[in-house]
Amino acid sequence: MTNISESLLQRYYELSQTAKEVEKELKGMKKELNAYFDHTIGQNQKGESNIGEYKIQRVIRYSENFDEEKTIKRLEDKQLTDCIQTKRIPDKEKINAAITLGLLSSNEIEDCIERKVSQAISVKKI
């Protein structure tokens, strides 16, 4: 292993500072680009646009999870403890099976589902 020089550490530090500045600027730009799509296409809507020699796309990703405490209580009230894993988290597969079998209605569990939305920006030269 070789020694680490002060110039290497200096360059690393400088690049690290530059990276922080770039990330801050990119974050602001992403906010502006998402605002553009919110205004032109609609909130949480995917879209794309060609501007000059660039194509901008917004992709929308959705995810949902059960609110653990609320879902466990609901399943216990329905005596569906088989739908609860040992570490006390809702078992998605068994809950879905219970819904399919009519042991639990999706309305009974709907307010236990936590949904998340994320937005992604992609800029490509065309």
d(CA 60, CA 84): 31
Collect all residues with Cβ–Cβ distance below 8 Å to 48 and sequence separation of at least 6: 55, 56, 57, 58
Q: Read off the pLDDT of residues 39-94 as tens digits, 9 standing for 90 and up.
A: 999 999 999 999 999 999 999 999 999 999 999 999 999 999 999 988 889 999 99
113-to-73, 75, 86, 126 alpha-carbon distances in Å: 13, 13, 20, 40
- pTM, full prediction: 0.58
Structure tokens at 88: 């006390």
List the domain boundaries for the chain.
6-125
